[in-house]
């Protein structure tokens, strides 16, 4: 009796209708260019259709149909299974033109903390031979998965691109279709922790070794300050090799203050350990020291501010923390910058207008996930966050529920893909994710930074007859801007407070690398030498290039913790002279003068 209905014309029409709705919801709204529905999805669909052969099942089916119509009338309901940030739903590319992460009808489950933290992430430069081989094998197997598989290497790279090149959108009460980004705000650290965690899980499954953990590129330790040879080896189709890296820097000493005082000739990592070499190492150590300690005080300064990518002047813009802005950004640009790259189009990131951006992989946010080095780089960024919150007692981050409850849906499971909804509060302790880092108890090398004064300090800056520039102004490479006599708040910082220097309403072109340094009480003629190993340095504004988001220009802000620098170089002064040192040739406009205020360090 079942098959009678099953073969009737009515049923076939019904099934066709069903398929149509299925495609509307899982197909049409999204790009099919890179990710046609997977075999798995087709399979689910036909199984569903085949089993619709009883009255009971048809009743369910009818409900499905009603639900589908309901979703058509109220499209916002379809977002219910997606990411939530600031209590807003994110949706990947409503226009349907961009390569979004693969679609899936796989069930969504809530993340459950792992039972034991028995996996130890180790520095790449100390891996055993067999561990190195395992890492290569895991990535090779990931690269061998078809692009349509959500845990293929191609799909993993596309996930990063979608989340940083503005493919994700959200609607506000006032503005529709706003671009979303996982960089430049307090989303940066937890989102990337989650992203590489699922990458690591997939690698583990691919080599069938439950103890496998993602190795980190320890560029903060002198022995790790070079692209690890494991990633440079071209033999046997090494899966960790990527040809799209800056060839000039392959075996050179990394520069964590890259773009600022760029060395005319990069230093050989294996070259003589002369003064030039040790100064460069010290600059690297101090960059990490500043991002972790001096300028990394308090959650906002270290992790970044509340996300807001709205381009209106009456709202608070988001800011990156030192964790993102300093060594992390330098490593991207140092590894990937090659202005005259002539890579073929297939390795280029797709811009919003459909054109290609052909920088080397790591030098551009949209393409950086295509370099396997990215994941070991981010494991180190993650480790420095871990060290900040544990050994350095930076704390758990923010207590704001908008941060704690932000949630993202990630693919999990190579053999049986499912989707996992995970919240920021789930990942604040890495043990919940089953891993920890090797040697966290060792003394971190950055504590050996040798910090000195760039210039002698007498009575502190007083403005003394210097002319203040007028804002807005446009920064020009090579022209230092001095803002004399910036007032310190009259009241001393209260308990749990410190002083921050804020430069708001910075306008820049996001497709270029942009950077300026900020220092206090440095005479204009010495300002070009400002760098993290000097006590006068208070931080920088720096971004990794990404796609043009809405409108071409982007607006940003920096908040820099300056308490230590004030104590070192300003004595009891009531004002300081601020110098802004442009480091890149692209136009950066500053609409507002820097201000200094007391703020809670949470």
- Residues in contact with ligand C2O by the rule CB under 6 A: 160, 164, 183, 192, 328, 332, 365, 368, 378
Q: How far is the CB of 199 from ligand C2O (least distance, A)?
A: 12
Handedness of CA 568, 570, 576, 581 (dihedral sign): negative
Phi/psi of residue 408, nearest 5 degrees? -130, 155
Distance in angstroms (rounded) separating the CA atoms of residues 310 and 172: 10
Q: Report in angstroms how near the CB of residue 389 gets to ligand C2O at its nearest.
A: 19
Q: Which is nearer to ligand C2O, 164 or 226 (CB)?
A: 164
- Toward ligand C2O, which CB reaches closer, 165 or 564? 165
Q: Is 50 helix (H, G, I), strand (E, B) or coil?
A: helix
Q: Are 12 and 74 in contact (CB under 8 A)?
A: no
Distance CA 445, CA 377 (A): 17
Which burial class, exposed, middle or buried, applies to 432 when counting CB atoms under 10 A from its CB (0-12, 13-18, 19+)?
middle
Write down the least CB distance from residue 184 to ligand C2O, Å.
Answer: 10
Nearer to ligand C2O, 156 or 368 (CB): 368
* Smallest distance from ligand C2O to CB 385, Å: 13
Which C-beta is closer to ligand C2O: that of 364 or that of 534?
364
Burial classification of residue 213, based on how many CB atoms lie within 10 Å of its CB (0-12 exposed, 13-18 middle, 19 or more buried): buried
Residue nearest to ligand C2O according to CB distances in the complex: 164
- Cross-strand partners of 599: 498
Tokens encoding 244: 């799209």
Cβ nearer to ligand C2O, comparing 361 with 517: 361
- Cα-Cα-Cα-Cα dihedral sign, residues 371, 374, 376, 377: positive
Q: Residue 30 or 192: which CB sits closer to ligand C2O?
A: 192
Q: Between 348 and 381, name the residue whose CB sits nearer to ligand C2O.
A: 381
Residue closest to 539 by CA, chosen among 594, 592, 464 = 594
Contact (Cβ atoms closer than 8 angstroms) between residue 435 and residue 126: no
| Matching residue, tokens 């790009």 | 31
Minimum distance, C-beta of residue 538 to ligand C2O, in the bound complex (Å): 23
Integer-rounded Cα radius of gyration of the chain: 26
Give least dist CB 215 to ligand C2O, A. Answer: 17
* Nearest C-alpha neighbor of 133 from the set 197, 221, 209: 209
What 3-state class would DSSP assign to 520?
strand
Backbone angles phi, psi at 205, to 5 degrees: -65, -40
Whose Cβ is closer to ligand C2O: residue 38's or residue 318's? 318
Q: Least distance from C-beta 362 to ligand C2O, angstroms?
A: 8
Q: Nearer to ligand C2O by C-beta: 125 or 332?
A: 332
Cβ atoms of 323 and 302 closer than 8 Å: yes
The least CB distance from residue 561 to ligand C2O, in Å, is 22
* Number of residues that make up the chain: 602
DSSP code string of 139-169: HHHHHHS-TTSTTSHHHHHHHHHHHHTT-EE
Q: How far is the CB of 181 from ligand C2O (least distance, A)?
A: 9
Whole-number minimum distance, CB 379 to ligand C2O, in Å?
11
Q: What is the Cα–Cα distance from 347 to 370, expressed in whole angstroms?
A: 9
Q: CA of 509: how far to CAs of 2, 359, 513, in Å?
A: 64, 16, 8
Tokens at residue 306, please? 């509340």
Burial class (CB in 10 A: 0-12, 13-18, 19+), 433: buried
- If the CB atoms of residues 41 and 361 are measured against ligand C2O, the closer one turns out to be 361
Least distance to ligand C2O from the beta carbon of 185, Å?
12
- Beta carbon nearer to ligand C2O, 178 or 546: 546
Give least dist CB 45 to ligand C2O, A.
Answer: 34
Phi-psi domain of 270 (left: phi exceeds 0; alpha: psi -120 through 50; beta: other): alpha
Extended beta strands in 130-282, E state: 168-170, 178-179
Cβ proximity to ligand C2O: between 194 and 481 the closer is 194
């Amino acid at each position: 009796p079942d098959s009678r209905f099953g073969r009737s014309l009515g049923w076939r029409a019904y099934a066709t209708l069903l398929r149509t709705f299925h495609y509307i919801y899982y197909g049409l709204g999204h790009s099919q260019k890179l990710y046609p529905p997977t075999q798995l999805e087709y399979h689910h669909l036909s199984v569903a259709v085949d089993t619709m052969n009883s009255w009971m099942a048809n009743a369910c089916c009818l409900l499905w149909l009603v639900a589908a119509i309901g979703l058509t009338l109220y499209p916002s309901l379809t977002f219910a299974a997606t990411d939530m940030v600031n209590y807003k739903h994110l949706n990947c590319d409503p226009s349907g033109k961009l390569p979004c992460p693969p679609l899936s009808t796989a069930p969504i489950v809530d993340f459950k903390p792992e039972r034991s933290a028995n996996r130890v992430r180790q520095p790449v430069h100390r891996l055993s031979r067999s561990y190195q081989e395992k890492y290569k094998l895991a990535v090779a197997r990931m690269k061998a998965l078809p692009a349509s598989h959500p845990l293929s290497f191609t799909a993993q790279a596309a996930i990063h691109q979608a989340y940083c090149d503005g493919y994700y959108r959200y609607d506000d009460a006032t503005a529709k279709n706003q671009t979303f980004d996982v960089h430049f705000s307090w989303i940066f650290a937890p989102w990337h922790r989650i992203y590489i965690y699922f990458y690591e899980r997939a690698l583990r499954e691919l080599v069938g070794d439950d103890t496998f953990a993602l190795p980190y590129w320890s560029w903060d330790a002198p022995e790790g300050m070079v692209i690890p040879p494991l990633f440079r080896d071209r033999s046997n189709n090494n899966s960790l090799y990527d040809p799209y890296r800056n060839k000039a820097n392959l075996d050179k000493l990394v520069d964590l203050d890259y773009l600022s005082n760029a060395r005319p000739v990069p230093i050989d990592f294996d070259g003589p350990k002369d003064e030039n070499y040790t100064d460069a190492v010290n600059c690297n150590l101090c960059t990490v020291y500043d991002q972790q300690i001096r300028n990394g005080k308090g959650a906002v300064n270290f992790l970044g501010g509340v996300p807001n990518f709205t381009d209106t002047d009456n709202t608070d813009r988001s800011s990156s923390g030192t964790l993102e802005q300093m060594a992390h950004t330098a490593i991207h640009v140092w590894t990937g910058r090659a202005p005259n790259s002539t890579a073929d189009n297939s390795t280029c990131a797709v811009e919003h207008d459909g054109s290609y951006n052909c920088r080397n992989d790591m030098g551009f946010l949209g393409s950086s996930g295509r370099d396997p080095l990215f994941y070991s780089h981010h494991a180190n960024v993650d480790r420095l966050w871990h060290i900040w919150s544990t050994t350095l007692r930076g704390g758990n981050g923010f207590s704001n529920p908008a941060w704690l409850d932000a949630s993202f849906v990630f693919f999990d499971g190579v053999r049986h893909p499912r989707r996992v909804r995970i919240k920021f509060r789930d990942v604040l302790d890495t043990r919940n994710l089953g891993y920890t880092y090797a040697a966290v108890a060792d003394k971190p090398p950055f504590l050996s930074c040798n910090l000195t004064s760039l210039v002698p300090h007498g009575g502190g800056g007083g403005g003394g007859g210097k002319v203040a520039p007028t804002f807005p102004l446009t920064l020009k490479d090579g022209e230092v801007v001095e803002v004399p006599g910036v007032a310190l708040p009259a009241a001393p910082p209260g308990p749990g407070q410190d002083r921050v220097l804020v430069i708001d309403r910075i306008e820049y072109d996001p497709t270029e690398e942009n950077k300026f340094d900020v220092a206090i009480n440095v005479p204009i003629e010495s300002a070009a030498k400002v760098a993290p190993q000097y006590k006068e340095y208070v931080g920088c504004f720096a971004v990794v290039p990404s796609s043009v988001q809405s409108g071409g220009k982007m607006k940003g802000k920096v908040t820099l913790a300056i308490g230590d620098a004030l104590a070192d170089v300003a004595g009891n002064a009531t004002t300081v002279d601020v110098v802004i040192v442009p480091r890149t040739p692209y136009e950066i406009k500053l609409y507002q003068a820097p201000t200094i205020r007391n703020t809670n360090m949470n």
